[in-house]
Each structure stands twice: as C-alpha cells, then as structure tokens.
C-alpha cells in the first residue's frame, strides 16, 4: 500500500511539473486543461495521480524561478507597474489586482486582472472613453461560495500588455470570489498594497 502511495505521489509530482511547463510555455491559464494535456502527453490515466491546483501552482512558481529567473522577476515587476498605473486611472472604482500578476505566477502570456466596482458598470466605459482608450467588452462568469454569476469585462491594451477589468456592483466590494487554485476567497490587492509590493521588490 505504501509503495502504491509513493508511486502515486511521484506521478502527481511529474504531472504537476508538466502541467506547469505547459502553462508557462503555451499560455494556458486553466488548471484543469493544463492537467489534462499533461496527463495525455505522459500517458497517465490514473485519477489518483492527478495533482491538485495548489500543487500545479507551486510547480509553476518553481518552473518560473528555475527557467526564467531574473527575466521573470523583471517581467512580473513590469506587469505590476502597468497594473498600478491602470488602477490609478480608475481609482474612483476602488480597483483591486487579482490573479497571477499579484500571486507571482504570471507568465509572458498572462493578462493583468483587475476587479472594479461601479453602479452602473457603464461608468467604467465612460471613463475609458474619457481617457481615449479603445476597448472591447465581454462577460466573465465568476464563482462565489454560493453561486456563479456573469459580470461585464472591459479589455484593453496598455504598454503592449492586455488588461481585463471585471466590473462588480459596489455592494460587492468586500465579497471576494473563490480562487480557482484552492477554492478559498481570492487574494486581491488595492492601490496602496500593490505600491508596497512593488517597492519591496525594488529594495
């Protein structure tokens, strides 16, 4: 039994690392899709060998540190600075940074994910037009503890980086969505917290 468990643990580690490589090199941000592609590529069919999202995120952090090194740190810092500039432009909507750029697992394919709060959401479009920013609008389904709901998303490019701003009603400012990594409340950072993070990395 112990030998079988050890084998499963080893397979999980191999799959987590391959999933991380796929996410880093191919721009896939869906953990389940990366996991399935890794399992298919390695010919692994055992469900017990499939790693959890947290294991894959940890492997992704390790992959970026080992294979990208300082280039990854520089890229991450640049993304955070671009995010900070965008957040300042939309400060009236109490913006929060979320996702890989905040968590430190952003790859060269990652977008900047911002959460804004406005009533109505069209106020964000008015602000974009005032800034003379060309944008696209779509919808993203967000998972909360007790529901999944669709919210408008405004996307635009800034310094050759794609920024996606999901707009929530103001009343939801303190209702964080569920993280796709561990199912807990998603980590988010406001302008002040992001500024501190950037300055800490510059020190």
pLDDT of residue 1: 46
Q: What are the tens digits of pLDDT across the range 94-132?
A: 999 999 999 999 998 899 999 999 999 999 999 999 999
Mean pLDDT of the chain: 91
Q: Write down the pLDDT at residue 180.
A: 87
Evaluate if residue 4 carries a pLDDT over 60.
no
Domains of the chain, residue spans: 2-67, 70-202
Please check whether the domain covering 70-202 is classified as CATH 3.30.460.
yes
**157 backbone dihedrals φ, ψ, rounded to 5°:** -105, 140
Q: Which of 77, 90, 99, 184 is nearest to 135 (CA)?
A: 90
Taking only the tens place, the pLDDT of each residue in 31-60 is 989 999 999 998 887 776 788 999 999 999
What is the b/e burial string over 55-91, where b = at least 16 CB atoms within 10 angstroms of the residue's CB?
bbbbbbeebbeeebeeebeebbeebbbbbbebbebbe
- The reported pLDDT for the residue numbered 5 is 54
């Amino acid at each position: 039994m112990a030998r079988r468990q050890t084998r499963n643990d080893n397979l999980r580690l191999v799959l987590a690392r391959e999933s991380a490589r796929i996410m880093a090199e191919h721009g896939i941000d869906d953990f389940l899709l990366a996991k399935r592609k890794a399992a298919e590529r390695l010919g692994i069919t055992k469900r017990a060998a499939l790693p959890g999202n947290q294991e894959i995120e940890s492997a992704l952090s390790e992959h970026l540190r080992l294979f990208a090194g300082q280039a990854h740190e520089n890229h991450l810092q640049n993304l955070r600075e671009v995010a900070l500039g965008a957040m300042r432009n939309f400060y009236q909507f109490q913006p929060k940074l979320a996702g890989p750029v905040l968590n430190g697992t952003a790859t060269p394919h990652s977008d900047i994910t911002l959460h804004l709060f406005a009533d109505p959401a069209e106020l964000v479009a008015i602000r974009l037009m005032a800034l003379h920013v060309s944008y696209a609008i779509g919808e993203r389904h967000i998972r909360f503890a007790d529901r999944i709901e669709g919210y408008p998303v405004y996307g635009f490019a800034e310094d050759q980086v794609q920024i996606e701003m999901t707009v929530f009603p103001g009343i939801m400012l303190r209702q964080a969505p569920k993280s796709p990594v561990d199912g807990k409340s998603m980590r988010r950072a406001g302008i002040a917290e992001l500024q501190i993070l950037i300055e800490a990395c510059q020190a």
